[in-house]
């Protein structure tokens, strides 16, 4: 998989904090995000009302996946994802994307589908390709 880092807002001269969150990343991925199933791990987030976000709690339960329509429609109380990894699976159970949130500092989108990476590059202002490492 190849990856793209998103840093909108944390670049030099930026606002100092990320200017987007999960809803904007899912929106960039479009209908494919809605029709996929999602699992997440190592999730740490805050909500607007200091309560758990039910769909995120379900997606973070071992072995559980949530429908993309539930995920995109169920995060209205989400304030910020601080850390975590979201995996997207299509109807054949093939993983087509991984979204990683790193310490509220940046997001990464990984995919073997170059069109997924291109839509991220064109949707967000400050992106960079993750350098490929040997080994």
| Domain ranges across the chain | 2-129
Q: Return the pLDDT at 133.
A: 61
Give me 62's structure tokens.
């071992």
Q: Return the pLDDT at 11.
A: 82
Instruction: Look up the pTM and report it.
Output: 0.92
Asked if 63 contacts 87 with a C-beta cutoff of 8 angstroms, the reply is: no
Contacts of 107 (CB under 8 A, 6+ apart): 5, 6, 18, 20, 25, 99, 100, 101
Q: Return the pLDDT at 63.
A: 72
Q: Return the pLDDT at 134.
A: 47
- C-alpha 41/C-alpha 69 separation (Å) is 19
The DSSP string of 5-69 is: EE-TTTSTTS-SS-S--HHHHHHHHTHHHHHSEEEEEEEEEEETTSS--HHHHHHTSTT--EEHH
Q: Return the pLDDT at 60.
A: 87
Tell me the pLDDT of the chain (135 aa) as tens digits.
999 999 998 888 888 889 999 999 999 999 999 999 999 999 999 999 999 999 999 998 877 899 999 999 999 999 999 999 999 999 999 999 999 999 999 999 999 999 999 999 999 999 999 987 644
């Amino acid at each position: 998989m190849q990856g793209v880092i998103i840093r909108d807002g944390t670049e030099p001269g930026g606002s100092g904090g990320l200017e987007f969150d999960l809803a904007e990343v899912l929106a960039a991925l479009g209908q494919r995000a809605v029709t996929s199933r999602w699992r997440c791990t190592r999730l740490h987030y805050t909500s607007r009302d200091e309560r758990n976000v039910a769909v995120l709690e379900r997606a973070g339960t071992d072995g559980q996946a949530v429908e993309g329509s539930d995920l995109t429609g169920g995060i209205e109380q989400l304030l910020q994802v601080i850390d975590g990894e979201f995996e997207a699976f299509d109807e054949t159970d093939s993983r087509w994307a991984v979204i990683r949130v790193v310490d509220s500092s940046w997001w990464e989108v990984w995919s073997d589908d170059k069109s997924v990476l291109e839509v991220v590059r064109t949707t967000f202002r400050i992106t960079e390709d993750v350098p490929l490492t040997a080994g």
